[in-house]
Each structure stands twice: as C-alpha cells, then as structure tokens.
Structure 1
Amino acid sequence: MENGSFASIASGPGDRNGLEGERFRSTRRTKIVCTIRPRTCEFKEIEALAVGGMNVARVNMCHGTREWHRGVIRRVRQLNEEKGFAVAVMMDTEGSEIHMDDLNGAESAKAENSEIWTFTVRIFDPSSCPEHTITVNYDGFAEDVKVGDELLVDGGMVRFVVTEKIGPDVIFQCTDPGLLLPRANLTFWRNGSLVQERNAMLPTISSKDWLDIDFGIAEGVDFIAASDGAMVSRGDLGAQIRIEQVPSVQKRVVQLCRKLGKPVIVASQLLESMIEYPIPTRAEVADVSEAVRQQADAVMLSSESAMGQFPEKALAVLRCVGLRIEKWRREEKHLDAQIPQLCHFPPHLAFLRRYTAPQMANKLKADAIFVYTKTGETATLLSRNRPDCPIFALTPSTSIRRCLNLQWGLIPFRLDFSDDVESNLHRTFSLLKAREMIHSGDLIIVVSDVLQSIQQ
C-alpha cells in the first residue's frame, strides 16, 4: 500500500462479492451490526458474516469474560488485516438494568404455567442452588416489589406475579410460560405502570461498566455503546413503556439522532423467529423495512446471530430487505420533506452552509459523492444529510475507515493521499470503475477536507 499504486486503496472482499450479482449490494446504505457470541465467534464464522455484509461486530459485556471478548476482538482485527475488510468492533456495556444470573451455565430454563419460582439476592454455589431459584443483581430487589406486582422477563417473553416475600427472597408464580435466558433483563409493573423505585440503587454506569470501558479502550474497540450514539433496543424499550408506544418512540429517536448527527441503530427482535427457523415472518420483514425507510444508520442482529440456528440467513434477509427498500425509496422519491437542519460547521467547512454537497448531488442527480477526509468529520456530515447517491469516503487512516463503516451511506476505502490531487482522483476513478461501482459518464461530486484544489 505504498507509492501511490492501486493497492493503496483498500476495501472489503464483501464489496467485490456483491458486484457478482446485484450492483446495489456494494452500495447498500443501511449498515448491519451482528452480535458475536459462541455460535459465531470463530474466525471462519466471523469471516462468513463479513462476506455476507456485516459492517460492525458487537460484543456484549453482559455475557462472557473479558478474555473471551479479547479473543473475538483480535480475530476481527486479524480478519481485517488478512482479508482486507473494514469490520468495526462495538463494545456494549451492561448498563444499569436489573437482570438474572447466568443460570449456572445453562443455555436456558423453561418456566411452565403456574410453576413457583424464587428470585433472590442470595448467591449460591452452582452445585447447591435450589431448583427454580434465580439470583438477581439488585440488592434492593425484595424491598422494591410488592405482592401482586408483575415481573416481565425480557420485556414480557415470560411473566410472573409476586405471591409472597420472605426476607431476601421473592416468590413468584408463572403466568405466561416461556424460556428464561441467561442474564435476561427484569422489569416490574404495578397497576399498569412501571415500578420506578427499582432504579434507586443502580448507578447509570456501574463499576463493572467502567472496568469494561477501560478494557475496550485498551483493546482499541471502535465504538463503546455507552457513549458514541443511540441504540433503539425495542425489547428493552418495550419493557419500559407500553408496547403500542414503541413504534412512535423509535421514529422520534431516529429523527432526533439524525438531527444531532449521532449514529443510531435499530436493534433487538428484528428477526426473532430466525433464532429457530430459516425464514422470517412477513411482519418481521415489514419491521426491518420500516427501520430502513426511517434511514437509521444501522440495523442489528442480537440473538439471531448470537445464539440463533441461522445467523448467515438472518444476515442475508437484512441485506436483501435493506437493498430493496432503499432502491424503492430512491425510485419512488419517497424522500423526507426536508433535509434535517445542520448544526455548527468548523470554519474550513463553511462552504457547505449555503449549498451542501448532498443538496447539490440530489439536485444534479449525481451518481456518487467522493469525500477525501483525514478525520472522518466531513464524511459524517455528508452521511447525516442522506443523499440519494452513494458516498465513497477515502481516508489514509485504517481506524477512521472502520469507524465510517457504521454510518449510513458511506462506503469507506483506505487511500494513501499524495500531494498530487489529480493522481488521487485518477486512482479512485480507476479502482471504482474496475469494480463497476461507477461508470464512464457518471456525474461525481468531490468534497475534501485535505485537498485544496479539487475541481468538480
């Protein structure tokens, strides 16, 4: 990757594979995040997800040890180095939720209708834990709940009602049977309202979260989900508000993040049925379509890729639905009434204030935007305005390239900039034409925060 050769531009094999069948695959705007767990943690499995379209690998610190997560992070880095991908790593902290224990290592436990279960703050040795007994992580658990309260596991996948309190133990009867999963989140409802007192003793960021954040920084993860953007986790959201409110709240969060220029991911239960079945329900496809139509930066597979039977097929569904809805939206001109108002620009980007590149590209019906950037800031601003055409982001930084891979519409490449502007443009044109990502006669808008004399 030296001396200004074509090899100095790097992109992923997934882009090349996409060109074999459907041109739009290589220019998919909506990014895909995949949660990595034991079912998808080996090198070949991660590579298969990357080839299938994964842009970001998510590690959830609520599960597994730091050493296990370190192995996943390093395998993703190895994949990028050896195969030329730009898969970013996102670390998700545990947060301040109340959750169950790890079920003593079991994959799940079945709660049957009318069964009696005990939830407690007492900690047991795995060999001495009583049957139907689960430890929770909140010291104020027994004090906050009352007889008659409803307990929702994972937003209602299993339901219990409190029948008795005995010291640190709370006795429940199962009213809606189902599978209990390790470290599932717990919420309480009383008289139709969420019990808020339960949060009194929980810090927003726990001591474990701070240690996990230090770990993530040391390992060089690209994103920490506690700070870098917003994730609309509908499972958790549905446990905190009434279920009928979830769609409107999702839409408002996506719109607000777009206005603020923050990445936003729509997550959880997108393709829940594909944990067990090879095809999704039609309702799930419609749900994914709505997230794509709202132009969220990314959609995310949670249990589907973490523990599901068909992670690659679930990924293929997200990719194909995303491509179809994006294409339909462009062809039918189902565009927002107006582009979100931009905020403060650094002085060197002041020219965008009067006539932004996305607006120009849409008005001129440009085929692509090229953006040359050292920091990624200019590419981020272009992405935020959701132009109709793809945005090819060129940067000399491998880490910036990975970070740009989460943002809507950006197709990042690594390019060693030279002092010769024409040479940089020539190399970009040649490589993208060879991959059929642009064609002779295409209209290209060029934007840069590092090259001073580019002609448009």
Structure 2
Amino acid sequence: MAVMSQAFCWPTCLHGELGGLDLTGERRKLRGQASGAFVSLKCPLRRSSISIVGSERGRSAGRKQVRTSVRSEAVAAGDKLDSGTGLLEHEDLNSDEEQVVPPKNGLLPIENGAKFTPGSSGIEVDSVSEADLKENGFRSTRRTKLVCTIGPATCSFEQLEALANGGMNVARLNMCHGTREWHRAVIRNVRMLNAEKGYSVAIMMDTEGSEIHMGDLGENSAKAEDGEEWTFTVRKFEAADLPERTVQVNYEGFAEDVQAGDELVVDGGMVRFDVVKKLGPDVICRCIDPGLLLPRANLTFWRDGRLVRERNAMLPTISSKDWLDIDFGISEGVDFIAVSFVKTADVIKHLKSYITARCPQEPIGVFAKIESSDSLRNLEDIIQVSDGAMVARGDLGAQIPLEQVPSVQQEIVQLCRQLNKPVIVASQLLESMIEYPTPTRAEVADISEAVRQRADALMLSGESAMGAYPDKALSVLRQVSLRIEKWCREEKNHENTRLQELSAALPDRISEQICNAAAQMANKLEVDAIFVYTRRGYMAQLLSRCRPDCPIFAFTDSKNVRRRLNLSWGLIPFRVDFSDDMENNLRRTFALLKARGMMKSGDLVVAVSDITSSNLNENLQSIQVRKIP
C-alpha cells in the first residue's frame, strides 16, 4: 500500500503555493511503485515536505508505517516532529496480516477501540451513481446536479422513479401550485423512493412570494394568439367557472394601479399584452406577443419604457401564506427552502433564525432566488447570508433588459462559487420541450454555457412539472452536461480561476487551504477520486468549490447531510458510519467500495478529513494520497 502524507505549518500553506510542485508524472510513478521503495517529493512550502512510503506485504516479519496528520498548530522553525508532539503518529502493523475483506453483512470489524454509530449495514450511495461508476468509471460521472420541478406530469411514485433513474438529484415543490396535502403526498413518495430504491433525492420547497401573479387557468395552460383580447381580473372564480380568455390576478389593487397604454408582461416576457381599458375590477388587454400562458405565471407592467415597481416594492417578501408553507416544510423535513423575490439580506437572516428555533438539530438550507432588480442591488449581501442561490432568469428578465441576463447570470454564478454557496441556474432552459420532444439548438447552447460556467445545478420548471416529455427533457440536461464537462476537463479550464480567501478565522483558513491543496494535488496527479470524511459537509463543499477534475466521494454519517450534499457540484455523497480514526475509516471504505464493485485495486485517491477526535477533543485535518490495496 502506498501512503502519502503531509505536515503543514500554519498558516504558511497559502493558496497557489503548491503550483510550484511538479507532480505531473507522479501518477505513473505511484501506480508502478516498487514494493519497499521510498520517494521524497520536495514541496515549495516552508518547513513542509511530502513523502510516499511504499511497503511490502508478506516478505518481512514486520513493518512500520509513518503517517503524518495535519494539526491546527504552528511549528517553529527547526522544531523536531516526534511522537511527543502528536504531529507524527507511529503505527506498527503485522506484515502477515491478510487483506481486509468485508463479511457478508457488509460490516468491517471495529479496530483500536473505535466507536461507530449503530444502525448501518454498510455503505449507502445513490444507485444511479453506483451504476455509473461500475459501468463507465470515475471520469464519466456527471458533476452538474439536476433539479426537477414536480407537478401533475411527474407526481406519481412511478414517474418520480423514472426521474430519479434519469439523474434527478433534487425534487422541487413549487408552492404556487397544489395543496399542502398534494405536496405532502409527493414528499412521502420521494422519501419512499429513497428508502426502497436506493436513491438520495433531496427535496426543495419554493415559496410563492408576494409578487403579482396569475391564478389557475382551469387547465394546465392556455395559448394567447396575436390580437386576441383577454380579461385580467381580481374577481374570484372557481376553475370550472372561469370565463373564456379570462385570467385571475392575485393582487387586489391590480386594476387600480394599471393604466390604459401600459404593457403587461407575463412570465418574464413569454407573452405580452397592451392594456386597452379598465372596467371596474377587470382590465381588458390585447395580446401583442403571442405565447403560452401557464398557471401562476408572474406579472409585471411597464409604463413609458420603465418597469412600474413601486407597488411590488411595498409588498412583503414572505407573505402570510408563505409562513404557513414554511411551517409545513419544516414539519415535513424538507432539505431546502427557496425564498422568492428576495430584496435584502435581512429577510434571509430572519428566516434562518426562525427555522433554527424550530429544528436546531437538522438545519434546512435557505436559498435566495435572484429574480428582481432589488435583489441585484443587494446581491453580495444576500448571497453571503444564504445557503445557496437560484438564478431565476424568467422573472429577472422581466425586470432588467434581456441583453443583460447572460452577464448577470455569469456574475451570480461566479460570486456564489467565490463565497462557497451552491448556485442553481433556472427558468426556460428547455421551454420548447413543454410541447415538443426535441430541444432547439439555442436551448442546448444555453445549457452548455451554464455548465461551462460551472454552475452547481440546472433546473427544469414547466418542462418536468407539466410538460409532455419530462423524461426526455431530463435526458437532454444530463447528456449535454456530461459532454460539456468532458470538454472543460480536456481544455483544462480549471487552471484559470483563482479563489478568494473566505474567512480570516484560523480554523476556517486551515480547512480552506487543505481543500485547495488537495484539489491541486488531485489534478496534478490525475487521481481517480477525492475522498472527504465530514460530519457537517463543510469540507466537502470547500472541495466542490475548487471544481477538481475528478469526482469527490463525500462520506458522512448523517442522512440529512448526505441529501443536502447532493446539490453541490461534483460531490457523490455516501452515508457510512465512521470513527475518529482516519486510517480505520480509509480501510473500511476501501473494502466496502471494492466489495460493491465501485473501486478496484490500484485506484489512486486523495483523502481529506475534518473529523473531530473524541479522545483529543480537536479537529485532526489531513491530506493523504492512497493507492487502493
């Protein structure tokens, strides 16, 4: 077995300093390392070195392995590392020991008094990822995550299973539509799917928000033709009693605020109307840009070429209905809540405090939907306090000039990566596939650009919720993502992005630099995967931020953390019981992965850990390069 370890002197390991280390050809050397050979690689880090220790099994009576663990303390120049400092650990291993093979129940014996949390029968991984690894290998795994909005077209157990099998990582529930009972049934189906079929689909609940929007249309959609007159009204109708070419509006003051000559924009510009006249609670409009009207589509209106936003600015970000929906989401244990039309960071702070007070043990990720000019004015502050962001391009395109949307999208994606927040690119990715079985070439180019920008996830809205071809739309997202990711790796685009420092606090800086260094090592050595052992998911997300060429295997002992990590770029989350003994964790996961056919002898991995030691009551952080025995 080859072991690669590194002792860091903090805070001398700064981002980019590993760039001087020539590891380009070391992958071949590592794989072909002769038994008993010792190779020392010089690293341009002050008072640091990297060593590879090769050992020979079965040829000698015994062997001694030296493993260096990273600890969060500075070592003065000239200090000697020995067993007394705790920076160097010596482990005597019997050379006659047989290779570890898992027993039939998938469990390995617990060694050295390590304690594991009970309740696991081995290792849990998404069945789609497992099949992909077995059939196509490490480099073929998809890094970009896929979010599907669930609606009438995809709400049954069988339809959800088809989406999960097609690569869905997150199921989104849009609270603009359906009853809470309907959403509860979908949540139960997703949970049952995960439990019975081996998936790890997370659930995101999207609040309705208090912006102006259409009501239900009495059917899934309606077509507005050029020149037709439609009535927008604040009167209440049952769906079955809705008059022809009539649209209900949720805002009581709508008829008072609009004026004849205004332009009414539906769903971010998918359909446009001119306001002809007002008749009490009704507003008569003429269609000037025909298109498909979808239930609950957002409405904005323009006057003299300017967005009329005063009334929207006065509405609260989270309505009374939203608070009831949020309570529902908390009680059902959703993984993420996306907040619509966020205007300031204070809204996110307030909601996170509200959630923490009600479920302190299992936090819910709060995502800010960036879809208004208000959110753009406070963009960095909003993203800084959020757990992630969604680029809702449809509504955003109704509030800023269309030609600015691509550059704004790139700005948001880059900012989220710098701040270590997952970002979802959403709205109209495959809009034509609501009705047609194949996408337009422009839509494929749009998806490609989002993947090239290294967005964490892409989202289907109407395409999967009510479209005629939800499975095909998801397949297009998956195939385009795979092809563009491969192209990015071939072009070595990762070398051009420099990440800013996230925190001034020493513990956070240590974690950040370990992950930066591990990602650089992985790219230069061309390893098969990065292993990260994490209880909260923080180190895994830091590694995802680096966008390495290889997949990241994130091992956690929490089912909730495992689902939440399913939204971050490049992560393949596993749930497995582990101890604070890094060596024992590695042996155990190696054996379990080999037994499942996901790895084989000779595979090369970089291993990172931030597990808190129960004995020493401190974080032992380490980087190792290991060849699977």
TM-score tier (shorter): over 0.9
- Which amino acid in the other structure matches residue 335 of structure 1? H
> Does residue 135 of the first structure (1) align with residue 296 of the second (2)?
no
**1:406 maps to which residue?**
567
Unaligned runs of 5+ in 2: 1-104, 110-119, 340-365, 368-387, 614-619, 625-629
> Does residue 90 of the first structure (1) align with residue 187 of the second (2)?
no
Deviation at 1:125, TM superposition (A): 4.3
Distance in 2, matches of 1:64 and 1:25, equals 40
Deviation at 1:83, TM superposition (A): 1.5
* TM-score calculated relative to the size of structure 2: 0.69
Asked whether the 8 Å contact 2:145–2:168 carries over to 1, the reply is yes
Any residues of structure 2 matched to 1:37-48 within 5 Å, and which?
A: 37-48=151-162
Question: Aligned in 2, Cα 1:152/1:349: closer, same or farther, shift over 3 Å?
Answer: closer
> Does residue 383 of the first structure (1) align with residue 544 of the second (2)?
yes
**1:236 maps to which residue?**
395
Deviates more, 1:297-306 or 1:441-450: 441-450
Q: What's the secondary structure of 2:555's corresponding residue?
A: strand
Partner of residue 17 from structure 1, selected from 97, 107, 131:
131
Deviation at 1:179, TM superposition (A): 2.5
> Does residue 300 of the first structure (1) align with residue 459 of the second (2)?
yes
Q: What's the secondary structure of 1:57's corresponding residue?
A: strand
**1:173 maps to which residue?**
286
Deviates more, 1:233-242 or 1:6-15: 6-15
Distance in 1, matches of 2:409 and 2:247, equals 32
Question: Aligned in 2, Cα 1:353/1:155: closer, same or farther, shift over 3 Å?
Answer: closer
Partner of residue 364 from structure 1, selected from 512, 520, 525:
525
Partner of residue 321 from structure 2, selected from 201, 204, 208:
208
- Which amino acid in the other structure matches residue 143 of structure 1? E
**1:311 maps to which residue?**
470
Question: Aligned in 2, Cα 1:436/1:245: closer, same or farther, shift over 3 Å?
Answer: farther
**1:156 maps to which residue?**
269
Question: Aligned in 2, Cα 1:349/1:441: closer, same or farther, shift over 3 Å?
Answer: farther
Distance in 2, matches of 1:45 and 1:232, equals 26
Asked whether the 8 Å contact 2:391–2:412 carries over to 1, the reply is yes
Q: What's the secondary structure of 1:39's corresponding residue?
A: coil
Partner of residue 264 from structure 1, selected from 398, 423, 426:
423
Q: What's the secondary structure of 2:494's corresponding residue?
A: coil
Question: Aligned in 2, Cα 1:255/1:106: closer, same or farther, shift over 3 Å?
Answer: same
* Deviation by residue 1:134-183 (Cα, 9 ceiling, x = unmatched): 22111221232221111111122221101112333221112222322211
Distance in 1, matches of 2:523 and 2:140, equals 20
* Deviation by residue 1:384-427 (Cα, 9 ceiling, x = unmatched): 12122211000011110000000011100001113553332123
Q: How many percent identity over aligned positions?
A: 68
Asked whether the 8 Å contact 1:16–1:26 carries over to 2, the reply is no
Question: Aligned in 2, Cα 1:395/1:339: closer, same or farther, shift over 3 Å?
Answer: same
Q: What's the secondary structure of 1:164's corresponding residue?
A: strand
Unaligned runs of 5+ in 1: none
- Which amino acid in the other structure matches residue 529 of structure 2? A
Deviation at 1:66, TM superposition (A): 0.5
Deviates more, 1:424-433 or 1:159-168: 424-433
Asked whether the 8 Å contact 1:4–1:418 carries over to 2, the reply is no
Question: Aligned in 2, Cα 1:126/1:386: closer, same or farther, shift over 3 Å?
Answer: closer
Any residues of structure 2 matched to 1:20-31 within 5 Å, and which?
A: 21-23=135-137, 27-31=141-145
Asked whether the 8 Å contact 1:19–1:435 carries over to 2, the reply is no
Deviation at 1:344, TM superposition (A): 1.6
* Deviation by residue 1:242-291 (Cα, 9 ceiling, x = unmatched): 11111111001111111111111001111112222222122111111110
Q: CA RMSD in A?
A: 2.3
Distance in 1, matches of 2:144 and 2:409, equals 16
- Which amino acid in the other structure matches residue 142 of structure 1? A
Deviates more, 1:395-404 or 1:181-190: 181-190
**1:440 maps to which residue?**
601
* Deviation by residue 1:76-101 (Cα, 9 ceiling, x = unmatched): 11111111211100001111321111
Asked whether the 8 Å contact 2:606–2:623 carries over to 1, the reply is no
Asked whether the 8 Å contact 1:396–1:416 carries over to 2, the reply is yes
Any residues of structure 2 matched to 1:268-283 within 5 Å, and which?
A: 268-283=427-442
Aligned length: 455
Distance in 2, matches of 1:140 and 1:192, equals 22
Partner of residue 221 from structure 2, selected from 101, 105, 108:
108
**1:187 maps to which residue?**
300
Counting helix residues as a fraction of each chain, which structure ranks higher?
1
Deviation at 1:130, TM superposition (A): 3.7
Distance in 2, matches of 1:354 and 1:128, equals 63
Distance in 2, matches of 1:177 and 1:60, equals 25
* TM-score calculated relative to the size of structure 1: 0.93
